[in-house]
Amino acid sequence: MGQRLARNMGFQLTDQHIEDYHVLGYTVFRKILPPSLIRDLRQVSQSARKIARERLGPQAQRLQPVGSFDIDQQPFIDYAEQPDLVKAITKLLSPRHQHGNRNHLGILIEPAEVPYCTPWHRDWRDNLPGLKLERWNERFQDMNLFNQINCALYNDSCTWIVPGSHVRHDLACEVERFPDRPICGPNVENKIVEEREKICLEYCRSMPGCLQLHLEAGDFALYRSSMWHIGNYVPYSIRSTLHDSAMTPEFEVWSRQVQEEASERRETGVVMDNPNTNRF
């Protein structure tokens, strides 16, 4: 109990956090992690980085879920139980929204060799081949689903978002920017490292209304993964960022069902539904 109290940072959730989350689709609980917990999580993230690169290669983006690997689990348990975090998430969402489930929790890491970025996307809709678009359209505004977390253990400016896009379908300018599916990433083929870095950054900036999220060590960002977002990475900026969900029973059920359905549809030859076909 003494240790738990020592680990409480006295974070106060404000109306601004709540309003930002609903209106903009994201909010940041600044400096909510106690330094001793950051230290423990940084230490275990070194093992995670090593395992991720052994298994997935030097450009690995993540190790997930942390519970499946032979690394010290205690720091993740402490993170899941951190009283300020539990209180803030309960108040902002509900007691049913639970972070820190080690069957889901991952760690995002920097690439070892060359810069790259993901394509711009809205999670599930644009990165699960075979997903039935209707499934996403009927639930993307449901607050029981799509509550994602990036909790930075080092300063992290990799994530870009389009604030406000979580409560609407795509704007005409977004459709125009990305008419096709799957969404094209930047063309960095045969480019030197510095050029790749520049092209990726330009690709990030090419999205109308985008904003780069700047997190400092110990900051906890909660965002709607149904909004437009992207990750942009360079090997020279160390990254250990907990990648988590405020998970609910509803999201568990929905995720399982759509993954099963998507896999069946892929077997029949479906690649990716395009939301821009027959839009109007």
Contact set with Fe ion (CB under 5 A) = 123
The one among 123, 142, 250, 252 contacting ligand AKG by CB under 6 A: 123
The one among 130, 163, 231, 275 contacting ligand AKG by CB under 6 A: 231
- Specify the residue, 127 or 276, whose C-beta has the smaller distance to ligand AKG: 127
User: By the 8 A CB rule, do 135 and 258 touch?
Assistant: yes
Taking Cα atoms as reference points, which of 60, 65, 64 lies closest to residue 110? 60
| Residue 97 backbone phi and psi in degrees, to 5 | -85, 115
Residue 108 interacts with ligand AKG (CB under 6 A)?
yes
What's the rounded Cα separation, in Å, for the pair 241 and 160? 15
Residue 162 interacts with ligand AKG (CB under 6 A)?
no
The one among 150, 226, 245, 248 contacting ligand AKG by CB under 6 A: 150
- Specify the residue, 83 or 119, whose C-beta has the smaller distance to ligand AKG: 119
User: By the 8 A CB rule, do 34 and 8 touch?
Assistant: yes
* Torsion angle of C-alpha atoms 168, 173, 176, 180, degrees rounded to 10: -30
- Specify the residue, 8 or 259, whose C-beta has the smaller distance to ligand AKG: 259
What's the rounded Cα separation, in Å, for the pair 175 and 164? 16
Residue 118 interacts with ligand AKG (CB under 6 A)?
yes
Which of Fe ion, ligand AKG, none lies near 25, with the C-beta cut-off 5 to 8 A by kind? none
